[in-house]
Structure 1
Amino acid sequence: MIDQGNAEDHDSGPPLVHPRKLPFRLLARDCGVDITYTPMILAHEFIRSSIARDSDFTTCPQERCPTADGRPHALVAQFASSEPIEFARAAELIGPWVDGVDLNCGCPQSWAMKDGIGCSLMSKPTLVAEMVRAARLRLNPEQSVSVKIRIHKNLDETVRWVKEVEAAGVTFITVHGRTRSQRSSTPPDYAAILELRKHISVPLVANGDAYKSSDVDEIVKLTKSDGVMAARGILENPALFAGHDVTTADAVKRFLGYAIRCPIPLPLVLHHISEMTARMPDMGKRERKRLMDCRDLVELVDWVEEKWGQEEPNSNRDCLCLAMQSLVS
């Protein structure tokens, strides 16, 4: 999915615990993102409950089709797990609906550390290697098995970690340029990502502080990475990879259209639109209050149309004809 010779052409949206549901992924796909991720899914629950599977993962055929301008697009399911068999079974269950699976080794939250997932795996490269091999056996050869990591305080430890996991057959590695204890206010260590780039041959995706299109170019320049992942930046501006430094009105209307066709809870819709519009013109306190006071989708549609007009006819036409497809077996 990632070509080392064309790093600047590969941009990805991140796995987050809640926001990365289907409507936002479809919007990101429209706005130039090449690879989108699901929310971080707990493999332990996913393999044991059809209700959990249906709640955690919903997709539609459009998600993995080329875009209107002919760009290929891939969908990756990200899991949190600490057991090879568990991760492999989750990969097998979701495999028919995705282009690859990713193991989260970078979540720094205390609950994840307590459960032995996320960043706790940064001290267990042998276990992660076993998990990569186990998942690889359950998927088709063309599907990816990747990992997302943070760096250690001692970068030599990270070098050893990525080498062992690479030897297990990982397809690509995403590196967040901060340690587990560093907050988002700490600048990412792009020099560390560059150093890791020197030690592995599989594609490397850089993550950390991509907020503008110029940031993406600078990150590729500083890290020699094969792609750039955006997290907070793309939540604030889903049109980031399309070259826009502020969310466009079209992006807001498209997202709302997808949220109507592929329903998600209203609080999540409001959260997304609040994030997306924060830096847009004419979004002062009064307008933000009007937005958050919307009690249902009808009121939200009225608010959006009053500010920016109606959605362009047929802008979501290919989504209209597609039934939502849930993983229930």
Structure 2
Amino acid sequence: MIMADSFCQNAKARASEFSTTVNDSPLIVQFAANTTGDFLDASKLVYPYADGIDLNCGCPQKWAMKDGYGCALLSNTQTIYDLMKGIRNCLPNDFTVSVKIRILKELKRSIEMCQQLEKCGVSFITVHGRTPQQKSSEDIDIDALHQVCQSIKIPIVANGGVKTLLDADNLYGTLKCNGVMAASALLTNPALFSGANVTPLSCIKLWMLMKDKDPNISFQCYHHHLVFMLEKVLTKQQKNIFNHLSSFEAVDDYLISNILNCYTSPIEFEYNLDEFISCEYADEITLKHVSKCRRCGKSIHYCLCMKYDCNNTEGKYFSSYVNDIALCDYTGFDIFDETG
């Protein structure tokens, strides 16, 4: 989920938040937005490099709700419709426009929302089977998802509770939906849909190679994903050491010494990393966003909101949030509680 306003305003945000390769397709970019101008301009910026964009109306995190993003939009459906119509009126029809939502306690409202979105020309809808108030540990509402799937003709992607390939197959078989999304489970195992139960070693090596080829991957991002990918591989003692490493060199040395030579997984895959594209963005879009901050209204030169620094935690991302690293279950973490 990329913040549309930051993406438009700040070159560092664009470099850190979005990258792609020559054969990275189909690619859909998900934005958080609550104004038509930000959403449309951010979509125009990624249009040359993506196949579609998605509006996140499913994030239940407190900061997102407070600022009017994610699930907060579910109580302001007119804004969602305006955002969708804005894209449909300005970009070609073969560029997909989709929305991710959560079901509401009053299911009728969810169904009416999906039917209205269908009329707006949305390409597909992803529906998370929990309400904004539910935690990821709670079961998804299969019956509610089924009713939503039966209410519209455009494709529905079901989301929630998918931890394994078998979970995905069962959800698809039960709902007869058009697709299944997994989110938090892919953090701990990006190769989940291959049938692997733990992150394959080849996946770890690919992430290391991507870091070497893409200079915009920050240490925080690199370390962040490895912590999740190695969750089922490292012991508690190893996690306590690994989670506190604070440099690229320290992380790679630890991987080489403790992981790469002794870790094997049942499923591996061959990979050939394509060249990264050097994205160039339209000045007429980016320049009109830099005169003042849309968040606070101040001149960009005095605004503190946009002092974007992807490395501002100095690599100590997890230790700044967690008191007891050894006992922490990161997949239940508040900051990643959007889907489960």
TM-score range (shorter-chain normalised) is 0.7 to 0.9
Tell me if 1:300 matches 2:251. yes
Q: Distance in 1 between matches of 2:262 and 2:210?
A: 14
Aligned mate of 1:262, from 214, 229, 234: 214
Partners of 1:253 and 1:304 within 8 A in 2: no
Q: Is the 8 A contact 1:51 1:328 kept in 2?
A: no
Equivalent-residue separation in structure 2 for 1:265 and 1:217 (angstroms): 35
Displacement of 1:293: 4.8
- Give 4+ residue runs of structure 1 displaced > 6 Å after superposition: none
2:154 maps to 1:206 = no
Count of equivalent residues: 275
**For each residue in 1:88-125, what CA deviation from the matched residue of structure 2 results, as whole angstroms up to 9, or x when unmatched?**
22211211111001111111122222222211211232
In the other structure, the counterpart of 1:274 is 227
In 1: Cα distance, 2:273 partner to 2:221 partner: 23
1:170 CA drift (Å): 0.2
Within 5 A, what are the aligned runs for 1:106-185? 106-185=58-137
Cα distance in structure 2, aligned partners of 1:305 and 1:292: 16
Q: What is the TM-score when the length of structure 1 is the normalising length?
A: 0.77
Structure 1 residue 287 corresponds to structure 2 residue 248: no
Aligned mates of 1:251, 1:41 — CA distance in 2: 24
Query: Is residue 32–residue 56 contact of structure 2 (8 Å, CA) maintained in 1?
Result: yes
**Paired residues of 1:91 and 1:138 also in contact (CA < 8 A):** no
Give 2:3's aligned residue.
42
* Cα offsets for 1:256-287 (capped at 9, x unmatched): 2212222422233222112111113xx21232
Letter of the 2:218 partner, please give it.
Answer: P
Q: Secondary structure at the match of 1:326?
A: coil
Q: In structure 2, what residue type is equivalent to 1:278?
A: E
In structure 2, relative to structure 1, the CA distance for the partners of 1:62 and 1:301 (3 Å cut) is farther
**CA displacement at 1:180 relative to structure 2:** 0.8
255-264 or 158-167: bigger deviation: 255-264
TM-superposed deviation, 1:136? 1.5
Provide the C-alpha distance between the structure 2 equivalents of 1:151 and 1:43, rounded to a whole number of angstroms.
Answer: 24
- Give the Å deviation of 1:288: 2.1
Any idea what SS the aligned residue of 1:58 has?
Answer: coil
Q: 2:195 aligns with which of 243, 267, 278?
A: 243
Alignment check: 8 A CA contact 1:50 1:328 kept: no
Does the residue aligned with 1:146 lie in a helix, a strand or coil? strand
Contact 1:219 1:228 (8 Å CA) reproduced: yes
SS across alignment from 2:27: strand
Mapped to 2, the partners of 1:138 and 1:227 lie a distance apart of 27
Unaligned runs of 5+ residues in structure 2 are 264-269, 283-340
Percent identity at matched positions?
Answer: 35
Q: Secondary structure at the match of 2:151?
A: coil
Q: C-alpha separation between the residues in 1 aligned to 2:119 and 2:91?
A: 18
**What is the rounded CA distance, in whole Å, between the counterparts of 1:267 and 1:42 in structure 2?**
18
Q: Cα offset for 1:172?
A: 0.3
SS, match of residue 249 in structure 2: helix
The question of whether the paired residues in 2 share the 8 Å contact of 1:257 and 1:316 is answered with no
**Structure 1 portions without partners, runs of 5+:** 1-39, 65-73
Give the Cα–Cα distance (whole angstroms) in 2 for the partners of residues 47 and 120 of structure 1: 22
Q: Residue 275 of structure 1: SS of its match in structure 2?
A: helix
Identify the residue that residue 267 of structure 2 maps to in structure 1. Answer: none
TM-score for both structures, normalised by structure 2: 0.75
Aligned letter for 1:266?
F
1:75 aligns with 2:44: no
- Aligned partners of 1:62 and 1:318 also within 8 Å: no
Q: Matched residue of 1:258: which SS? A: helix
Distance 1:91 1:268, change over 3 A: closer
Equivalent pair of 2:16/2:218 in contact (CA under 8 Å): no
Q: What's the secondary structure of 1:149's corresponding residue?
A: strand
Cα distance in 2 for residues equivalent to 1:85 and 1:328 = 16
Instruction: Give the CA RMSD over aligned residues.
Output: 2.2
User: What are the superposed Cα offsets for residues 124-149 of structure 1, whole Å, 9 maximum, x if unpaired?
Assistant: 32331221111122222211000000
Assess, with a 3 A threshold, how the Cα gap between structure 1 residues 248 and 115 changes in structure 2: closer, same or farther: same
Partners of 1:112 and 1:293 in 2: CA distance? 28
- The 3 A distance-change label for structure 1 pair 77 and 327 is farther
Instruction: Provide the secondary structure at the position in 2 that maps to 1:180.
Output: coil
